[in-house]
């Protein structure tokens, strides 16, 4: 089976959830390129992110369907962080020669499951052999009302800092997957699910249009994402350690592992919740809008003037500057 | 240097040629996603293609800047094959840890050189380590007047078959690069240039709107590309072996190598010229329009009714059905 037959088998003419995009897909998979009809009054939002075996995941921390899900989810999350509605995606997959077709099918099933869950039409892509490893690059395209995209640069002193849900679960799930012995059970299923099948927040991002002054998604740990807002906005974010929500499963795992739950929250990534800022006067409206969008939001700090950076206020009244944390490549 | 610093160094805030896209780039590199303003009355055209070391190129057949150029060029070519104007691109690059920053800079310089040559703004991307090999995935976004994209499926019996320029040069250049001894000179410079720095034909694609009935780019050899049109259109393409132009450098190389020049043309890919069909009554207008767009077109066959496929008519009057040729993955 060559890649043309394989692509037909894997995509089966599907372009994601029927009806979710309707006739806006003019030409789908099968020609040199796809053609889509932009919605009048909207701008197109474009993002691209890769997952590479060994670097971004290990064969024993992810199953094939979850690799597909997560490759799509991280791109949907970048659109969410702009306040955009996810619409289309292209998927470039590379796998070693001889990689079983069943495993490719599982990976594609995961890509489509996530695309369907978020109303994304997969309109194209590329399939290639790779010398050794699996990698998936997804490009996602969304739409946002013209001029209203939420950037990282709008935070102002006096704003509140919010998150759209509990953080650190994915990092704790990965911590467990890296340490457990083969054949062990899954006592930390909610943490493992958070790591393998993260749920990005585009509905929350849409709800924040006109309310948030800045927005970012939590792909690399709260400390690093808050720092990106601080640097882009030229302000200081002061996180309140006591106000940051700690999920019960994360608390239990942190106790089991002898770690501080805040470590997973501040330094661990891939939760794909959102962090942002908003005028204090709009805080109640914002929390209500996020709850209506299915999120579990919390206010976790304030924006101050000063050298761009992030502080953590401890319950004992002390304040500690947070260095950038989270995974970086090419260090 | 982590990847954030590296991305800043490599992209330097550039988003391709100034003025080529003007203010249609609302948000460029540096936030969660890019934002672009669609042109009213146009549809967006989306395509994505990867280049993987060892699979798509070998370290000694390509230099770093040419890898970047070609990764962009093959995507520009897919937009050309739809009749679309190239506008934006996102580039996902993976390279092994310890890969020299100078080599990444050269690769990016090649990406930008090709983007600039075709008026493409690079608005985003991803940079990641890979376990062993370099790979580049480019997603290109173009625009075409609503409803006018050129597909593979419109060829009709009685149409003529045309190409926008000489073919087979890239395949001959690769043949030489694979056989030459280390330290040899470059007697086949035009062929090597065709392989390393192919020139896709978006201006020709634009000129074909309203004239061509089908269009494809020649990324995998004329036989395979003609077959894609034949299958999508439900027709038979009859190529005239005597009418297919043979470039002088290719003819000389074929004689040197003891091969038939037609082998390189029919079976070798990556020329990134266009092949298509048009009503016979429009042939003169089409040739003039392509010449005005800088191409060197030729009529190379006719469309017939019959079982979908491709025939080659030989100068001696015999006709031979052409099997699909060209490189396929996962065979």
Establish if B1 touches chain A: CB-CB under 8 angstroms: yes
**Structure token digits, residue B2:** 């982590």
pLDDT of residue B300: 98
Residue B274: per-residue pLDDT: 98
Q: What is the pLDDT of residues B167-206, one digit of tens each?
A: 999 999 999 998 875 445 567 999 999 999 999 999 999 9
B 190-229 residues with CB < 8 A to A: 215-217
Does residue B54 belong to the interface with chain A, where contact is any CB pair within 8 Å?
Answer: yes
Higher pLDDT, B275 or A60: B275
Cα-atom radius of gyration of chain A, to the nearest Å?
A: 20
Contact B149 A124 (CB under 8 A): no
Domains along chain B?
3-145 (3.30.1330.10), 160-321 (3.90.650.10)
Residues 6+ apart with CB under 8 A from A279: A156, A158, A159, A160, A213
Residue of A nearest to B152 (CA): A31
Alpha-carbon distance A134 to A57, whole Å?
10
Reported confidence tier of residue B20, pLDDT bands at 50, 70, 90: very low
Residues from chain A contacting residue B37 (CB–CB below 8 Å): 43-44, 146
Interface of A with B in 9-48 (CB under 8 A): 26-27, 30-38, 40, 42-48
Query: Which range has the worst mean pLDDT, A24-33, B2-11, B21-30, B251-260?
Result: B2-11
The whole-angstrom separation of Cα A263 and Cα A265 is 5
pLDDT of residue B13 exceeding 70: no
Q: In a mutagenesis test of the B interface, which of A46, A92, A122 is the best target, namely the one with the most B β-carbons within 10 Å?
A: A46
Decide: A161 and A302 in contact? Cβ < 8 Å: yes
Of the pLDDT bands very low, low, confident and very high (cuts 50, 70, 90), residue A54 is confident
Residue-level pLDDT at B53: 84
Question: What pLDDT is attached to residue B60?
Answer: 82
Range B108-136 average pLDDT: 92
Q: Å from B50 to nearest chain A CA? A: 7
Asked whether residue A35 carries a pLDDT value surpassing 50, the answer given is yes
- The whole-number pLDDT of residue A288 equals 98
Can you give the pLDDT at residue B14?
62
Check B48 against A124: CB less than 8 A apart: yes
Q: Tell me the chain B residues in contact with residue A54 when contact means C-beta distances shorter than 8 Å.
A: 131
Q: B107 CB near a chain A CB, below 8 Å?
A: no
* pLDDT of amino acid A324: 59
pLDDT at position A126 is: 87
pLDDT band per the 50, 70, 90 thresholds, residue A23? low
What would you measure as the largest C-alpha separation in chain B, in angstroms? 65
Inter-residue contact B82 to B150 (CB < 8 Å):
yes
Count CB-CB contacts under 10 A for residue B231: 15
Question: Which candidate, B192, B190, B166, places its Cα nearest to that of B179?
Answer: B192
Q: In this predicted structure, which of A10-24, A130-144, A262-276, B224-238 has the lowest mean pLDDT?
A: A10-24
CA distance A79 to A89: 11
Name beta bridge partners: A137: A50, A92
Cα radius of gyration (chain B): 20
pLDDT of residue A8: 64
Average pLDDT, chain A: 90
| pLDDT for the residue A5 | 67
Share of chain A above pLDDT 90, in %: 76
For range A46-57, the mean pLDDT:
89
Residue A323 has pLDDT above 90, yes or no: no
The candidate with the shortest Cα–Cα distance to B98, out of B6, B10, B27, B178, is B6
Predicted local confidence at residue A326, as pLDDT: 45
pLDDT of residue A198: 97
Distance of alpha carbon B244 from alpha carbon A304, whole angstroms = 70
Residue listed under structure tokens 């796809």: A34
pLDDT computed for residue A179 by the predictor = 84
Angle at B110 between CA B106 and CA B116, to 5 degrees: 135
Between these two residues, A229 and B326, which has the higher pLDDT value?
A229
Q: Measure CB to CB from residue A2 to each of B133, B152, B330 and give the nearest one.
A: B330
pLDDT higher than 70, residue B325? no
- Burial category of B16 from C-beta neighbours within 10 Å (exposed 0-12, middle 13-18, buried 19 and up): buried
pLDDT interval class at B55 (50, 70, 90): confident
Alpha carbons within 13 angstroms on the beta-carbon side of residue B109 total 10
Q: What is the predicted pLDDT for the residue at A36?
A: 96
What tokens appear for A94 in the block?
Answer: 């590379």
Mean pLDDT of A208-232: 96
pLDDT at B57: 84
Check whether B61 has a pLDDT greater than 80. Answer: yes
pLDDT tens across A80-113, in order? 999 999 999 999 999 988 889 899 999 999 999 9
- Mean of the pLDDT values across residues B48-72? 90
The pLDDT of residue A158 is above 80: yes
Q: How many CB atoms lie within 10 A of CB A190?
A: 17
pLDDT of residue B19: 42
Residues 6 or more apart whose CB falls under 8 angstroms from that of B109 comprise B65, B68
Return the pLDDT at B5: 67
Sequence-ordered list of residues with C-beta below 8 angstroms from that of B276, at least 6 positions apart, any chain: B150, B161, B162, B208, B212, B213, B214, B215, B216, B229
- Per residue, the 3-state secondary structure of chain A, as one string, reads CCHHHHHHHHHCCCCCCCCCCHHHEEECECECCEEECCCCCEEEEEEEEEEEECCCECCCCCCHHHHHHHHHHHHHHHHHCCCCEEEEEEEEEEEECCCCHHHHHHHHHHHHHHHHHCCCEEEEEEEEEECCCCEEEEEEEEEEECCCCCCCCCCCCCCEEEECCCCCHHHHHHHHHHHCCCCCCCCCHHHHHHHHCCCCCHHHHHHCCCCCCEEEECCCCHHHHHHHHHHHHCCEEEEECCCCCCCHHHHHHHHHHCCCHHHHHHHCCCCCCEEEEECHHHHHHHHHHHHHCCCCCEEEEEEECCCCEEEEECCCCCEEECCCCCCCCCC
Residue in chain B nearest A93 by alpha carbon = B50
CA distance A122 to chain B (A): 11
Check residue B179 and give its pLDDT: 84
Q: How many CB pairs under 8 A join A and B?
A: 236
Write the pLDDT tens digit of every residue in A229-287: 999 999 999 999 999 999 999 999 999 999 999 999 999 889 999 999 999 999 999 99
Token couple for B212? 């061509």
The overall average pLDDT reported for chain B is 90
pLDDT of A328 > 60? The answer is no
Q: Which carries the bigger pLDDT value, residue A29 or residue B161?
A: B161
Question: With 70 as the cut, is the pLDDT of residue A17 above it?
Answer: no
Other CB atoms within a 10 A radius of the CB of residue A119 amount to 16
């Amino acid at each position: 089976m060559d890649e043309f037959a394989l692509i037909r088998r894997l995509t089966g003419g599907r372009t994601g959830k029927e009806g979710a995009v309707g006739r806006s897909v003019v030409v789908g998979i099968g020609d040199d390129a796809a053609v889509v009809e932009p919605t009048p009054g909207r701008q197109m939002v474009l993002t691209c992110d890769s997952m590479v075996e060994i670097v971004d995941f290990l064969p024993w921390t992810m199953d094939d369907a979850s690799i597909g899900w997560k490759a799509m989810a991280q791109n949907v999350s970048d659109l969410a962080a702009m306040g955009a509605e996810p619409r289309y995606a292209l998927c470039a997959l590379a796998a070693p020669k001889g990689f079983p077709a069943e495993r490719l099918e599982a990976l594609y099933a995961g890509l489509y499951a996530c695309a369907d869950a978020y109303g994304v039409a997969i309109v194209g892509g590329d399939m290639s052999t790779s010398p050794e490893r699996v990698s998936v690059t997804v490009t996602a395209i969304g739409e946002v009302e013209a001029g209203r995209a939420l950037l990282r640069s709008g935070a102002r002193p006096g704003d509140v800092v919010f998150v759209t849900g509990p953080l650190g679960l994915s990092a704790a799930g990965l911590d467990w997957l890296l340490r457990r012995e083969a054949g062990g059970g899954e006592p930390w299923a909610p943490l493992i699910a958070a790591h393998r099948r993260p749920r990005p927040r585009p509905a929350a991002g849409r709800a924040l249009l006109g309310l948030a002054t800045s927005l970012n998604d939590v792909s690399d740990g709260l400390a690093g994402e808050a720092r990106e807002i601080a640097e882009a906005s030229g302000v200081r974010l002061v996180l309140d350690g006591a106000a940051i929500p700690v999920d019960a499963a994360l608390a239990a795992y942190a106790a089991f592992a002898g770690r501080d739950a805040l470590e997973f929250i501040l330094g661990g990534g891939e939760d794909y919740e959102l962090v942002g800022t908003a005028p204090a006067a709009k805080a109640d409206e914002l929390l209500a809008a996020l709850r209506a969008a299915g999120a579990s939001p919390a206010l976790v700090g304030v924006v101050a003037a000063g050298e761009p950076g992030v502080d953590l206020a401890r319950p004992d009244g002390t304040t500690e500057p947070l260095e950038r944390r989270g995974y970086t490549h090419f260090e």
